[in-house]
Amino acid sequence: MIRVVLPPHLRKLARVEREVQLDVEGPVTLCSVLDALEARYPMLRGTIRDHVTQRRRSFVRFFACQEDMSHEPPDAPLPDAVATGAEPFLIVGAMSGG
């Protein structure tokens, strides 16, 4: 079970609480976690990564285990603590005013 923490705007959009839990088949990577998240909450498509290029939106960052995972390759494995559910995978809106 993968734990994912969404930023407040996306929680409201998906109508969920702070943390959601996902089953991810196969290797636990940035890509597979986001695929599972978007499959379960289709309204999040396009809000975290581009519909076509799948690139992360500029003002969105990915954190886990106190590390910035934003620039990891999409198919690189996430830390074991995320894969086992011991630690959450954090999707964060940049601290950039507004």
Partner 1 sequence: MSRVRVLVGTRKGAFVLESDGTRGRWDVSGPHFGGWEIYHLKGSPAEPNRLYVSQGTSWFGQLIQRSNDGGKTWEPVGNRFVYDGVTGTHLWYDGTPHPWEFARVWHLEPSPTDPDTIYAGVEDAALFRSTDGGQTWQELPGLRNHESASSWQPGAGGMCLHTILLDPKERERIFVAISSAGTFRTDDAGKTWRPINRGLRSEQLPNPTAEVGHCVHRIAMHRSRPGVLFMQKHWDVMRSDDAGASWQEVSGNLPSDFGFPIDVHAHEPETIYVVPIKSDSEHYPPEGKLRVYRSRTGGHEWEALTNGLPQRDCYVNVLRDAMAVDALDPCGVYFGTTGGQVYASADAGDRWAPIVRDLPAVLSVEVQSLP
Q: Would you tell me which residues interact with partner 1 (CB under 8 A)? A: 7-10, 13, 43, 45-48, 51-52, 57-60, 93-94, 96, 98
C-beta of 5 vs 65, nearer to partner 1: 5
Residue 8: CB minimum distance to partner 1, A: 8
Q: How many residues does the chain have?
A: 98
Q: Do 36 and 2 contact (CB within 8 A), yes or no? A: yes
Tokens (6 digits) for 71: 């620039």
Nearer to partner 1, 1 or 52 (CB): 52
Nearer to partner 1, 17 or 23 (CB): 17
Note the maximum CA span of the chain.
Answer: 38
Q: Show the tokens assigned to 34.
A: 């986001």
